[in-house]
Amino acid sequence: MSERQQVTILGIGAHVGDMELVAGGVMASHYLKGDKIATLALTAGERGVPAGRDMEDYRQQKIREAHTFANMLGGEAYVLDYNDGEVPDDQEIRMRVADVIRQVKPNIIITHHCNSMHKDHATTHRIVNDARYFAAIPTFERELPAHFAAKLYYGENWEDAVGYVPYVYVDFNQEAFDLWIKALSTHWFVTGSKSFNYMDYYKSLARVRGLEARKEYAETFMVAPESMKLRQSEL
Distance CA 156, CA 133 (A): 23
Helices (H), 73-118: 91-104
What's the pLDDT tens digit per position in 190-224?
Answer: 999 989 999 999 999 999 999 999 999 999 999 99
pLDDT in tens, 82-138: 999 999 999 999 999 999 999 999 999 999 999 999 999 999 999 999 999 999 999
Annotated domain spans of the chain: 8-224
Q: How many CA atoms lie within 13 A of 72 on its CB side?
A: 21
Task: List the one residue out of 101, 151, 164, 89 whose CA is nearest residue 125.
Answer: 89
Let me know: does 55 contact 47? Beta carbons within 8 Å: yes
Entry pTM:
0.96
Mean pLDDT value of segment 15-40: 98
Distance CA 59, CA 127 (A): 22
Name the CATH topology of 8-224.
Rossmann fold (3.40.50)
Query: In whole numbers, what is the pLDDT of the chain averaged over residues?
Result: 96
Summarize pLDDT for 154-196 with one digit per residue, the tens. Answer: 999 999 999 999 999 999 999 999 999 999 999 999 999 989 9
